[in-house]
Structure 1
Amino acid sequence: MARATIVITGAAILCLQLIASRIMTPFFGVSLLIWTGILSVTLSCLALGYYYGGVFCRGRSAGELRGAFYLGPALSGAWLVAAVLLYPVCLGPLAEMSLVGGAFLASVLLLAVPLVLLSALNPLLVALERPLHGEADAGAGRVFFISTVGSVAGVLVAAFGLIPYLSGRHSILLIAAILCLLGAVGGRGGRVLAVALGGLAAALALGLLDPAGRSGRTARDGENRPWTTIATYPSAFGVLKVVEVGEGAGMLRVLFNDGLAQNGFHADGRPALQFTHFLEAGAIHLVPSPRKILVLGLGAGVIPAAFEARGAAVEVVEINRRAFEAARDHFNYRPGPGTRLVFADARTQVRRCGPDHDIVFVDLFSGDGIPEHLLTREFFADVRRCLAKGGVVAINSFLDAAHMEPTRAVLATLADVFGRVAFVEQAHPPSRPITNGFLFAAREPGRLDHLAAMRVEATDRISPHMAEQMAASLKSLRIVDAASPLVAGAPTLSDDDNPLAALAASAQMAYRRGAVSTVPDPILAD
C-alpha cells in the first residue's frame, strides 16, 4: 500500500504541475518568464519536501511515521479543494499586480502545499522500509525509482487523460479525491481518516455541483456589459471558450483560446475582428480570382467559408480538432465539398503541399503568439514552395509598438525568403499600442506594389465603420526588404538559431496584461 501510494503521489505531482500551468495560462500567459516562475516554485517545493521529510523522520516511531505518511496525501487533497475555491478570485488580482511576480505567487497558491507534503513522502517511506532492507541505501534507490515511474505516468495521464477532456477545476478535484482516498484507506482511523473523508466529500460535492464545467457563467466587465460563457472545449492545445459579450443588437459572439480572442461575430452574423477582413481583402486584391487556397489555422472558420463561397478549392490545416467543433457548433462553419480539412501541425503539412496554391493564409496562434517553429526561414521557405506562380501569402501577427523586436525579426526572416514583404499596422489609438500586424509576401515580389492601390469599401460583410478602420490601417503600408531601416540589425530566425522566445517575452506579457484587464476573471478561470 505504501509503495502504491508513492507511485500515485509521484503521478499527482507531475499532473498538478501541468494542470496548474493550464489554469494559469489565461491569466499569466506562456512566456519564458512565466514558465521560469512555475518551474522555480515547483523545484523549490520539491527540495523543501525532501529536506523536511528527512528531518521529520529523526527519532520518530514507526507508528508516527506511518500516520504522517498517510496524512500527507489527505492534507494535500484538502488543500487542493480549498485552492479550487481560491484561485478563480485570486489569479486575476495577482496578474494585474505583476505577471511575473503574480505567476510566482499563483504557483505557490496552487502547488506549494501539495508538492511539499507529497515529496516528503519519499524520505518517510525510506525510513519505514529501513528495518526491512539490509542495503546500504536503506531502500532509498527503490523508493525514488518507483516515485519517478509514477511521475512519468502522471505526465501521460495529464496529457492524454485529463487536459484534453476535463476543465482544470475538475482535474484538480479528481486528483484531490484520489489523494484523500489514499489517506482514508491507508490511515485507517483517527485524524488522518477525518481529514481524508472530509476532503473527499468536499471534492465530490464541488465536482457534482458543477458537472458541466464553467459554461453558462456570466460576469460583467468595467463597462457593465454581461460576458456569458456559453460553451467550453478543453483540449490539448488550450481551453477554447465561446463567449457572448453584451446583449441585443450590440452583442458579440467571440471564440477565445486561453483567454485571447481568436475571432468573433456581430449579432447580424458579420465577422467582428479586422484581421480577417484585411487579410481577405488584401489577398483578393493581389490575386483577384484564386482557384486554390491553403488556410493554416481555422479560428472560427471565417476565411475558409469566405473563399469557399467564391468557388475556390480550400484546404484548412488545424492542429486542434476541438477548434473545428467550436466553429461548427457556434459560428455556423460548415465545410462544403470543396473544402479539405486536415488535422495536423502546419509545419508538417506545408512540407507536403505542391506548388499550386494561389493564396496561403497563416493565422497560427498558441498562448501569447505564433509558435516559434512557425516563424523560421525554413518554415517560410516551405510556404513559398506551396505557392503557384503569382501566389501570395497573408499572415496575421501580434504587434506591440513599444516592443518591436519580434516583429522586426519576423520581417527580416520573411524578406530573406521572399525578397520583399508588405507590412501593415492595424490602426489603433495611441493609448493601446498592442494590436495586429498584417504581413503579405509573394512568389513574385513586385506584385506587392499593387497593395498601395487597394480600395476598401463597405459590403454586406464589411460595415462602413469597419471599412473606415481598414482604410486607416492601409495608410501604414510599408514595403520592407533586407536593406530597409526597419529590419537593420534584426536577426533572421532559423531552426538552428531562433531567439524569438527572448525577443517576444516583453511583448507577450504586455499583450497578456491587456487581456487580463479586459476580460472578466470568471471568463478566464478554467
Structure 2
Amino acid sequence: MERLDRVRESGHEVTVEDTDELYGEKGRFRVLQFADGDVQGALDLNRPERIVLEYPRAIIHLIERNAPEFERAFIIGHGIGTIAGRFADRDIRTAEISPAIARWSRIYFGYDGPEVSVGDGRELLAQEPDGSLDVIVLDAFTEKGKPWHLFTREFWKLAERKLHGNGLLLLNVFGRGRRDSFVDAVWAGLSETFAYRRGFVLPPDRPYEPANRVLIASKRPIAAKLGQMAGFEESDPERGTVLEDEMFGYSSVGESEESI
C-alpha cells in the first residue's frame, strides 16, 4: 500500500492510499480512508468509470428508479464524489465538513462535478429554500463516529421542509446485528416524519459485524429492484427511540420556518 496524502483535521486523520487489493479483490485501487482503516471511497484505477463500493450503487439505483427526472439534490458528505459525479448534469449542492476531502476528490479521484461547499451539512441545508429539493442524500460519518445532529427529530423535520412534496431522503448508515439502537432510532425518526420508508442491508461476512444499511424515506410509495441493489437485501429496522437535539446539546437556532 502506498500513501499519497495524509491530513489531520479536527482530530480526525484521513489518508489517500493506493493498494493492489481491496476487500479481497486484486487490482489497482485508490482509497480514501480514516486512520482506523474504514474506507470512505474507492476508485478502480484500471476502470475509473466503475463504482466500486456497493452502497453508492444502491443509492444511485434508488434515485434513478424513483426520481429519474430530478432537478435539484443536496448531498451531505462528499467523499470522493461518486454520487455527485454520477449526476453532474443536474443541480447538485454538496456539503463536506473536511476541506481536504473536498480538495482531494478532484486531485486524486478525478471528480469534476459541481463545486463542493465546505461546512456543516445541517447548517448549509438550512440555507436552502423550503420545498426546493427533489433529493437529499445523507452520507456523513467521521473517524470518531456519527455527527449526531444529523440524525435527530429536528433534522428530519428540516429535511422534510426542504424537500418538495414527493421528494426523497436517502441515508447510508451502519449498525451491528439485527437490532442496533442507533439504526432503530434513525428508523423511528423517519417513521415519525415520512409516510413511506424502505430499508436495505448488505449482509456482513460474519454475524454481528457492522452491517451497511441504506434507508430511503418519502411521502409517496418507493420502488426498488433488488437485482440492481448491489447485493443489498430488503430489511426494515425496528422502531427505536427518536433522537432529539437536546440530547446532544445542539441548538437549531435559525432553522425555524419563520426565519428561513
Same fold (TM over 0.5): yes
Instruction: Report the alpha carbon displacement of residue 419 of structure 1 after superposing the two structures with TM.
Output: 3.3
Residue equivalent to 1:421? 197
CA distance in 2, matches of 1:424, 1:379: 21
Question: What's 1:281 paired with?
Answer: 61
Question: CA offsets, 1:366-408, max 9 Å, x none?
Answer: 1243211111010111111111232101100112116511111
Residue of structure 1 equivalent to 2:97? 319
Structure 1 residues 298, 237: CA separation in 2 closer, same or farther (over 3 Å shift)? farther
Asked whether 1:239 is paired with 2:19, we answer: no
Among 230, 250, 254, the alignment partner of 2:27 is 250
Q: Given residue 262 of structure 1, which amino acid in structure 2 is its aligned partner?
A: Q
* Alpha-carbon spacing, 1:290–1:352, altered in 2? closer, same or farther (3 Å): same
Contact conserved, 2:200 with 2:213, CA < 8 A, in 1?
Answer: yes
Instruction: Determine whether 1:476 maps to 2:234.
Output: yes
Alignment partner of 1:290 is 2:70: yes
* C-alpha distance in structure 1 between counterparts of 2:194 and 2:163, whole Å: 11
Equivalent in the alignment of 1:176: none
* Within-5 A mapping of 1:171-182: none
C-alpha separation in 2, matches of 1:254 and 1:322: 14
Structure with bigger helix share is: 1
Q: Give 1:301's aligned residue.
A: 81
Alignment-mate amino acid for residue 241 of structure 1: T
Match of 2:42 among 264, 270, 275: 264
Could you say which residue in structure 1 is the equivalent of 2:117? 342
The 8 Å contact of residues 287 and 390 in structure 1, kept in 2 or not, is answered as no
Q: Is the 8 A contact 1:402 1:433 kept in 2?
A: no
In the alignment, is the contact (CA less than 8 A) between 1:231 and 1:241 conserved in 2?
yes
Aligned residues: 242
Partner Cα distance (2:247, 2:9) in 1: 30
Superposed, which structure 2 residues align to 1:464-503 within 5 Å?
A: 470=230, 472-473=231-232, 475-478=233-236, 486-487=238-239, 490-497=240-247
Structure 1 pair 233/436, CA: closer, same or farther in 2 (3 Å)?
same
C-alpha distance in 2 between matches for 1:363 and 1:288: 20
Give the letter aligned to residue 494 of structure 1. E
* Structure 2 equivalent of residue 438 of structure 1: 214
Larger radius of gyration: 1
TM superposition score normalised by structure 1: 0.43
Q: Is the 8 A contact 1:285 1:454 kept in 2?
A: no
Are the counterparts in 2 of residues 291 and 358 from structure 1 also a CA contact under 8 Å?
yes
Q: Deviations over 1:61-88 (max 9, x none)?
A: xxxxxxxxxxxxxxxxxxxxxxxxxxxx
Displacement of 1:411 after TM fit? 0.7
Give every structure 1 segment of 4 or more consecutive aligned residues whose post-TM-superposition deviation is greater than 6 Å: none
Distance 2:159 2:11 in 1: 23
Does structure 2 conserve the Cα–Cα contact (< 8 Å) formed by 1:237 and 1:366? no
The answer for the alignment partner of 1:360 in structure 2 is: 136
- Aligned-pair identity (%): 20
Shift of 1:345: 0.5
Contact kept in structure 1, 2:201 and 2:213, CA below 8 Å: yes
Gaps of 5+ in 2: 250-260
- Pairwise CA distance, 1:289: 1.1
Seen in structure 2, the aligned counterparts of structure 1 residues 297 and 494 have a Cα distance that, compared at 3 Å, is same
Summarize the alignment of residues 373-522 of structure 1 with structure 2, pairs less than 5 Å apart: 373-401=149-177, 404-431=180-207, 433-442=209-218, 444=219, 446-448=220-222, 450-451=223-224, 453=225, 455-456=227-228, 470=230, 472-473=231-232, 475-478=233-236, 486-487=238-239, 490-497=240-247
